[in-house]
């Protein structure tokens, strides 16, 4: 939204950061007001843990700007990208400062609404290497101030949004409590409470799915880690779905965190802020900043800003005194190099990009009976994360209606048309190609009340909308956006739909890789996301059990029984979908050599996804399958040995 320059106050010589609204945005009143809201929200707060706003104003030419203190340090998000997770000792120091700063904001009626590691700056103050400065109050809710948006609009970053924020409910300080708990979870475990690649799925989980225990996550990867049970209880309380069940305010949450003992770790954690520095609040100096949507820091002179009006600044300096210098006084720091390899016993995950979202209405969430099964914690514990990005969405993402909303149980037929067309695109040129007549026939089974011409017209309209898109990837993304409308189907109908997709894709030949990827993505978006570790178990089972050119029903029956043991809470329809996925992976590879190579690859991936006891249990099951006929032949011995090596099990 803005460009940031290093400038100097006349008279005092003080180096400051000047944020200027981009010229192309300065004609939009709502954007101007939101830009000034950041200065208004922050300027009324005086606290050592909140960035200081020195001045705000508008030039005669219409340029809008504000001036803030210049900081030497880096974002908390950058630190997490480097080290993965922090000790409780270090995290407690950072979290209690954030809580103190937010508590002060709440006392002044300001709710941040977008707390995340990228909006926390760490600077050195004397011996304190982790002095906190809270940034970016650009979407803050200010008590008593005129609303900048219509009722029902939603702001925030998907990984940290409280349920009431997702649903455009009442926002207060407890919303920030929830976000800070998400941050604490990430700082301590290396992952978010709901760590999904899809923002829409993440929002659904915030509303419907209980948060996992961070203590259990840590104990699985590091049994000796300092993670008191009281900390686990405090974070789970702060992550409660209902605001009334959380801490009553930020101050009490901060006091609770501060009261939990912390053991000072042996050896110093990463501590080189002075030499790996960015200079302006909220700005990354890495070369990818612009691509990630970050406001960029400029090393050239700022444009002329001759103000006609400016609010009183906290320091008493005038706007002209703050911003009239036209030269760069400090060069930006060099780009921060990539994180080093993880240290022994831990991984330093790269943080995923996440956008600060603006939605003109709340996303609609499926009913409680469609709630996602909690993912096994270890499935995500080693996931690497990318630096988080900040962006602004002009329209809401499409996610399914909430219970009680009109049409919540209806099947969205136009979206089905897009879905079948999307599958047809993946099958073009194969023996299973889907002609329009066949597509219409499949579509009509989902709309028995419509006649053939009406269904064909619907499919043709969807086809026309897809064909105007320039690339196959753009068409695929358009289809997958539409698929979110189908997430409101009853679970049994959703399973029927995915099974139908498998039937279509594999009716004349094995399901090809493009079609399989498409079907897996569709399953995820309609609420049938399957644990890929279960698919890995299924695939390895098939490789061991397979004895002929085609799989027989006895082999698949035994596989279903195994999966029910591994996932006792899995319903049979989901087990069937896991089997279909694994069979498709198996059959799309033409030779047993190719199939074994794939088994070796997934075993290597699988080796870091489960604990040692779980990996041993997998190998025991695979050996039992191989011994089912009374002996293990040379082929099976070789396969078991390779899988055991990759699973890191003797």
The answer on 617 and 558 residing in a single domain is: yes
Q: What is the mean pLDDT of the chain?
A: 74
Query: Strand 307-311 vs strand 141-142: parallel, antiparallel, or unpaired?
Result: unpaired
Q: What is the CATH number of the domain that holds 239?
A: 1.10.510.10
437 with 548, same domain: the answer is: yes
Nearest-angstrom CA–CA distance, 4 and 299? 9
Residues 303 and 369 reside in one and the same domain: no
Which amino acids are annotated catalytic?
A: 114
Higher pLDDT, 378 or 538: 538
Q: 118 and 172: one domain?
A: yes
Rounded-to-integer distance, Cα 190 and Cα 183, Å:
10
Task: Work out the pLDDT band at 619, boundaries 50, 70, 90.
Answer: confident
CA 384 to CA 28: how far, in whole Å? 39
Beta bridge partners of 297: 4
* Tokens coding 390: 């900040």
pLDDT > 70 in the chain, percent:
71
Tokens standing for residue 319:
């706007």
Q: What is the model's pLDDT at position 268?
A: 56
The residue whose two tokens read 């809008």 is 64
In 22-169, which ranges are E strands?
53-59, 64-69, 73-75, 110-111, 120-125, 128-134, 141-142, 154-157
What pairing do the DSSP bridges indicate for beta strands 141-142 and 110-111? Answer: antiparallel
**338 located within any domain:** no
**CA gap 71, 124 in Å, rounded:** 9
Specify if 113 maps to a domain. yes
Beta-strand relationship, 154-157 and 356-359 = antiparallel
Q: Using 50, 70 and 90 to split pLDDT, how confident is the model at 139?
A: low
351's CB contacts (< 8 A; 6+ apart) are 77, 80, 81, 117, 385, 386, 387, 388
Please give the pLDDT value at position 475.
85
Does residue 400 lie within any of the structural domains? no
- The arithmetic mean of pLDDT across residues 141-165, rounded, is 66
Is residue 343 domain-resident?
no
Task: Assess if residue 408 is contained within a domain.
Answer: no
Give yes or no: residues 520 and 532 share one domain. Answer: yes
Integer Cα distance of 406 and 454 in angstroms: 23
Examine the domain organization and report whether 173 and 316 are in the same domain.
no
Domain shared by 169 and 42, yes or no: no
Specify whether 167 is located in the same domain as 180.
yes
Interhelix angle 513-525/491-505, nearest 10 degrees: 170
Contacts of 420 by beta carbon, 8 Å cutoff, 6+ apart: 434, 439, 442, 443, 459
Q: Are residues 60 and 189 in the same domain?
A: no
Residue at 332 is within a domain: no
Task: State the DSSP string of 528-578.
Answer: ----HHHHHHHHHHHHHH--SSS--HHHHHHHHHHHHHH-TT--HHHHHHH
φ, ψ for residue 88, nearest 5 deg: -60, -35
Give the integer Cα–Cα distance in Å for 52 and 39.
9
- Do 475 and 620 belong together in one domain? yes
Question: Domain check: are 162 and 252 in the same one?
Answer: yes
Task: State the residue range of the domain holding 618.
Answer: 413-647
Count: domains in the chain: 3
Of the listed ranges 28-37, 108-117, 149-158, 616-625, the one predicted with least confidence? 149-158
Same domain, 29 and 11: yes
Is residue 637 domain-resident? yes
Domain with residue 57: its CATH number is 3.30.200.20
Tell me the per-residue pLDDT of 410-440, one tens digit each, with 9 for 90 and over. 567 888 888 888 888 888 877 778 788 888 8
- How many residues comprise the chain? 650
User: 249 lies in a domain?
Assistant: yes
Q: State the pLDDT confidence band at 347, using cuts at 50, 70 and 90.
A: very low
Tell which residue, 595, 577, 464, has the closest CA to residue 520: 577
């Amino acid at each position: 939204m803005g460009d940031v320059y290093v400038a100097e106050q006349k008279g005092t010589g003080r180096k400051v950061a000047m944020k200027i609204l981009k010229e192309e945005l300065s004609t939009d009143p709502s954007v101007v007001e939101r830009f000034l809201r950041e200065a208004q929200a922050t300027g009324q707060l005086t606290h050592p843990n909140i960035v200081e706003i020195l001045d705000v104003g508008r030039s005669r030419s219409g340029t809008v700007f504000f001036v803030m203190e210049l900081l030497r340090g880096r974002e908390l998000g950058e630190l997490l990208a480097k080290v993965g997770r922090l000790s409780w000792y270090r995290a407690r120091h950072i979290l209690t400062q954030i809580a103190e700063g937010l508590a002060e904001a709440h006392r002044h009626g300001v709710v941040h609404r977008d707390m995340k590691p990228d909006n926390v700056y760490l600077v050195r103050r004397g011996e304190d290497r982790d002095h906190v400065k809270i940034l970016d109050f650009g979407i803050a809710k200010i008590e008593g101030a005129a609303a900048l948006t219509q009722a029902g609009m939603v702001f925030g970053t998907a990984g940290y949004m409280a349920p009431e924020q997702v649903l455009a409910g009442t926002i207060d300080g407890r919303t920030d409590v929830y976000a800070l708990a998400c941050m604490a979870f990430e700082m301590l475990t290396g992952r978010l409470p709901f760590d999904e690649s899809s923002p829409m799925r993440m929002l659904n989980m915030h509303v419907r799915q209980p948060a996992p225990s961070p203590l259990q996550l840590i104990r699985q990867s590091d049994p000796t880690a300092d993670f008191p049970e009281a900390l686990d209880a405090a974070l789970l309380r702060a992550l409660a779905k209902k605001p009334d069940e959380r801490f009553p305010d930020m101050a009490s949450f901060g006091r609770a965190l501060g009261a939990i003992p912390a053991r000072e770790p042996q050896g110093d954690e990463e501590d080189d802020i002075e030499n790996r520095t960015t200079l302006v609040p909220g700005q990354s100096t890495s070369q990818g900043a612009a691509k990630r949507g970050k406001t960029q820091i400029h090393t050239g002179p700022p444009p002329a800003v001759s103000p006609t009006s400016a609010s009183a600044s906290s320091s008493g300096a005038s706007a002209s005194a703050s911003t009239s210098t036209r030269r760069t006084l400090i060069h930006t720091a060099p780009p921060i190099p990539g994180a080093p390899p993880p240290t022994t016993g831990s991984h330093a995950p790269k943080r995923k990009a996440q956008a600060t979202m603006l939605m003109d209405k709340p996303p609609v969430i499926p009913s409680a009976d469609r709630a996602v099964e909690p993912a096994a914690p270890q499935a995500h514990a080693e996931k690497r994360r990318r630096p988080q990005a900040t962006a602004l969405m002009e329209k809401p993402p499409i996610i399914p209606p909430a219970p009680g909303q009109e049409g919540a149980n209806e099947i969205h037929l136009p979206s089905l048309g897009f879905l079948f067309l999307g599958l047809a695109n993946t099958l073009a040129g194969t023996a299973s190609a889907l002609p329009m007549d066949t597509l219409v026939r499949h579509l009509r089974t989902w709309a028995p009340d419509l006649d053939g011409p009406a269904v064909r017209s619907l499919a043709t309209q969807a086809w026309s909308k897809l064909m105007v898109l320039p690339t196959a990837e753009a068409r695929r993304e358009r289809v997958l956006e539409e698929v979110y409308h189908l997430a409101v189907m009853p679970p049994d109908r959703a399973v029927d739909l995915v099974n139908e997709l498998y039937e279509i894709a594999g009716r004349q030949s094995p399901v090809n890789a493009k079609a399989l990827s498409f079907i897996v993505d569709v399953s995820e978006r309609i609420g049938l996301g399957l644990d890929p570790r279960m698919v890995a178990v299924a695939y390895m089972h098939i490789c061991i059990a397979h004895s002929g050119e085609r799989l027989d029903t006895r082999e698949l029956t035994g596989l279903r029984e195994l999966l029910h043991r591994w996932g006792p809470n899995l319903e049979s329809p989901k087990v069937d979908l896991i089997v279909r996925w694994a069979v498709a992976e198996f059959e799309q590879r033409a030779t047993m050599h190719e199939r074994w190579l794939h088994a070796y690859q997934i075993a290597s991936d699988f080796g870091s996804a489960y604990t040692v006891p779980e990996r041993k249990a997998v190998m025991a099951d695979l050996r039992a399958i191989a011994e089912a006929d009374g002996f293990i032949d040379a082929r099976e011995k070789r396969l078991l040995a390779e899988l055991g090596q990759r699973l890191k099990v003797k």
